[in-house]
Structure 1
């Protein structure tokens, strides 16, 4: 029986432990004239070290360096002793061996790049390992979601260094470019089709806008109207319709654009009159040409949104406006059954914010409100009424709360009006914009062009 098969896991480990020790040794020899800590810290990120002991020593070194303290051997020994970590890392002997293995000043960045690179290799191996485990456990109808979850992690690994470089730099280096940019009017990334709303709510790349209201208050009418108006302006638009199916959305769009009773379209057949057919035919050409994409999947997660955005950006050359109806129906990428609704919505909200910032897309999310406003005099909603998570309020650049007096009093003097209460607005003032609702057509109209059809 032969015994020459190589099975030692150490030979397959993606790490350069000698390189790690040489970097730490160089840092332990630092002097005011020779500071390798800053050079290494520009490349090495937390968690990059393979050996936990090396990570502990590096943490002590960077903590001292951040306090403008020397990082020589005596100071690091004292720091590790104060935290109770000296013996855990092997004592003074281990630190002395690092000093003996110290690399030269010119080699620090080289070894730091290796340490960081091997950390990415290990992260890739771990991601593929998790992917394999998820594949073994995946149900036949969940394969696509599993692929997207793994792809999201791979995308993050692929973009990690580029993303860090893009977001890090000296303030003054970009100031001249910013000043030149101020000479040109900043164009909104998306439009709502309601002129008063566009004036106060400037939607910029990376913004999350929340449209919230009680059931049947007009959330879908508002957001679908925004999607159509934005697409009609020539901007690519994506709608994730989780709550409504394809037929219902088609009927709403046809009714809104053609001024055909939504009720008659829902009944169909003889209920649709000859004049209705004529009106709809008149708008079909324009509707077919809209740069509008629909996703009717009932299972939408942030990773699915990301991939749809990336697909449309490649196809159109521009990040789309994204409408999600609505956020509390979304799924997390982790699909953790033990999460509470609060934890699930918080995770979704944060992930969508990251997706929006990384892709440059404006994301408009419908959201439900709790019953707080119904017990309040006047029944006007507040931002604090957002259901399931305060994280939504924190992540949003703008929050629009919907209120209709005639929803509670059909005989109100303001029947036919809807208040768009801007409860949060990072790009402008908080105020109330009034529009006209024509819910029998499934649409919200700008008061300024109410009769312009």
Structure 2
């Protein structure tokens, strides 16, 4: 890198002016906090310490003047670290007459964004220099994920008056009333389930949980297939467990009814089977389904994919992740419970950002195996209670024949709506035609 860009980007007077404004008037917090959050944007560590101390005083409804601030910092043992009381007064004097706190906060935030961009640029350069030419695509995807989170903080208002919020809600109610009968959101393809969930709605996170070999991946593929190929919805599928070929093969089986084992063996396919496969391929060639089978698709990768599809096509109607616990954790040093919590919270926030429903598969712990009926419960969600907290709906799958092949209920699957933030809980029975990679509502079998 050239000498003229080695110095980090920061603006000392702007950082001091922000702190001075906060010590001058409580009104400044309204303009500053949306831009600087918890203070990560400050270049000087002492400024971040002062800023966080001011937030603590504000939250306790105490004065934020330099004297009270100095007393607080003395009590926490940080007054000397920040330069003592004289430095607090120096920040006060850095405030110009008629200063606007938001203006200086924007400057601080913008410089922080430039520093972050420079940091990620070095990270990308290091990865490119260390990588082999065969790793180019992987490194490029990593770089897109790293850059996806870099944004300049905005002071755009996020609140709305009742008149505005209620007006938008009233319009939505009218659209629902005028729409054809059926689920309000995107249907899953299982009629009984749709009647309970009322479809998958934008901004909501739905978890499909089960023990291994029960069929949660099959259900997710069925939902993606129904939305993209029958309804024409734009769907993104991130498959961390199966390859692109495996996903496609299962969808061929589900869509045509040709048994999966016969398709996999290929040589056992009959002429009629080939005709069905060819017709299905022709009929669904234009389906707006995006399949990403990267085994290292972390939260940043999936966020970047969703944003890119939305930018290129103007919409993203549904995002599916199979499955959550396979996603690389954002913070490898955190406990596993904290990692899974970060992932579930990240998916929920992404659903709101992309304004589309997200459906994610996740594993259950061994709790069901320790009960006589093997029936799963919400408490069986593996590794994090935040999964239950973040999800709008939780669907648990239970098949008796998964544990007992001789069960009289072989071929049935209980779809347990264990959590439904906007409706009732219920247990529904669907047909499990796993040899054809599909679940089917019993009402239409």
- Taking structure 1 as reference, are residues 264 and 26 closer, same or farther at Cα in structure 2, changes over 3 Å only? closer
Structure 2 partner of 1:354: 349
- C-alpha distance in structure 1 between counterparts of 2:106 and 2:204, whole Å: 34
Question: Is the contact made by 2:216 and 2:397 (CA closer than 8 Å) also made in structure 1?
Answer: yes
Question: Is the contact made by 1:205 and 1:361 (CA closer than 8 Å) also made in structure 2?
Answer: yes
Structure 2 partner of 1:3: none
- C-alpha distance in structure 2 between counterparts of 1:439 and 1:332, whole Å: 31
Deviation at residue 62 of structure 1 after TM alignment:
4.0
Structure 1 segments of 4 or more deviating over 6 A? none
Q: In the alignment, is residue 406 of structure 1 matched against residue 397 of structure 2?
A: no
How many aligned residue pairs are there?
435
Structure 1 partner of 2:422: 427
* RMSD after superposition: 3.3
Structure 2 partner of 1:381: 376
Structure 1 partner of 2:120: 127
Question: Is the contact made by 1:26 and 1:105 (CA closer than 8 Å) also made in structure 2?
Answer: no
- C-alpha distance in structure 1 between counterparts of 2:130 and 2:361, whole Å: 33
Output the TM-score relative to the length of structure 2: 0.84
- Taking structure 1 as reference, are residues 70 and 372 closer, same or farther at Cα in structure 2, changes over 3 Å only? closer
Structure 2 partner of 1:77: 70
Structure 1 partner of 2:252: 254
Query: Structure 2: which 5+ residue stretches go unaligned?
Result: 178-182
Question: Is the contact made by 1:325 and 1:366 (CA closer than 8 Å) also made in structure 2?
Answer: yes
- C-alpha distance in structure 2 between counterparts of 1:353 and 1:106, whole Å: 38
Deviation at residue 305 of structure 1 after TM alignment:
1.9
Deviation at residue 426 of structure 1 after TM alignment:
1.9
Deviation at residue 227 of structure 1 after TM alignment:
1.3
Match of 1:118 among 105, 108, 111: 111
| Residue correspondence of structure 1 range 434-449 to structure 2 within 5 A | 434-449=429-444
The alignment partner of 1:378 has SS state of: coil
Question: Is the contact made by 2:106 and 2:153 (CA closer than 8 Å) also made in structure 1?
Answer: no
Higher deviation after alignment, 20-29 or 112-121: 20-29
- Taking structure 1 as reference, are residues 302 and 107 closer, same or farther at Cα in structure 2, changes over 3 Å only? closer
- C-alpha distance in structure 2 between counterparts of 1:248 and 1:425, whole Å: 31
- C-alpha distance in structure 1 between counterparts of 2:31 and 2:245, whole Å: 60
Deviation at residue 116 of structure 1 after TM alignment:
2.9
Structure 2 partner of 1:264: 262
Structure 2 partner of 1:4: none
- In the TM superposition, what whole-angstrom CA distance separates every residue of 1:105-141 from its partner, at most 9, and x where no partner exists? 2454433332333233333333323333444444655
Deviation at residue 399 of structure 1 after TM alignment:
1.7
Deviation at residue 213 of structure 1 after TM alignment:
1.8
- Taking structure 1 as reference, are residues 83 and 226 closer, same or farther at Cα in structure 2, changes over 3 Å only? same
Deviation at residue 342 of structure 1 after TM alignment:
4.8
- In the TM superposition, what whole-angstrom CA distance separates every residue of 1:359-415 from its partner, at most 9, and x where no partner exists? 223222222323321221111112222334444333322221111223334444433
Structure 1 partner of 2:300: 303
Structure 1 partner of 2:165: 175
Structure 1 partner of 2:180: none
Computing the radius of gyration from Cα coordinates, the structure with the larger value is 1
Question: Is the contact made by 2:53 and 2:72 (CA closer than 8 Å) also made in structure 1?
Answer: yes
Structure 2 partner of 1:227: 224
The alignment partner of 1:151 has SS state of: helix
Deviation at residue 445 of structure 1 after TM alignment:
0.7
- C-alpha distance in structure 2 between counterparts of 1:292 and 1:130, whole Å: 32
The alignment partner of 1:377 has SS state of: coil
- Taking structure 1 as reference, are residues 226 and 105 closer, same or farther at Cα in structure 2, changes over 3 Å only? same
The alignment partner of 1:184 has SS state of: helix
Question: Is the contact made by 2:146 and 2:300 (CA closer than 8 Å) also made in structure 1?
Answer: no
- In the TM superposition, what whole-angstrom CA distance separates every residue of 1:261-312 from its partner, at most 9, and x where no partner exists? 333223322x223333344344333222322222333332222322332233
| Residue correspondence of structure 1 range 84-99 to structure 2 within 5 A | 84-99=77-92
- C-alpha distance in structure 1 between counterparts of 2:99 and 2:334, whole Å: 50
- Taking structure 1 as reference, are residues 103 and 35 closer, same or farther at Cα in structure 2, changes over 3 Å only? farther
- C-alpha distance in structure 2 between counterparts of 1:355 and 1:42, whole Å: 19
- C-alpha distance in structure 2 between counterparts of 1:21 and 1:143, whole Å: 43
Structure 2 partner of 1:15: 10
Structure 1 partner of 2:144: 151
- C-alpha distance in structure 2 between counterparts of 1:376 and 1:402, whole Å: 15
Question: Is the contact made by 1:26 and 1:103 (CA closer than 8 Å) also made in structure 2?
Answer: no
Q: In the alignment, is residue 199 of structure 1 matched against residue 195 of structure 2?
A: yes
- In the TM superposition, what whole-angstrom CA distance separates every residue of 1:43-99 from its partner, at most 9, and x where no partner exists? 544233333333333344444444444433433333333333333333333334344
- C-alpha distance in structure 2 between counterparts of 1:200 and 1:52, whole Å: 52
Question: Is the contact made by 2:235 and 2:319 (CA closer than 8 Å) also made in structure 1?
Answer: yes
Structure 2 partner of 1:215: 212
| Residue correspondence of structure 1 range 275-294 to structure 2 within 5 A | 275-294=272-291
Match of 1:190 among 176, 186, 203: 186
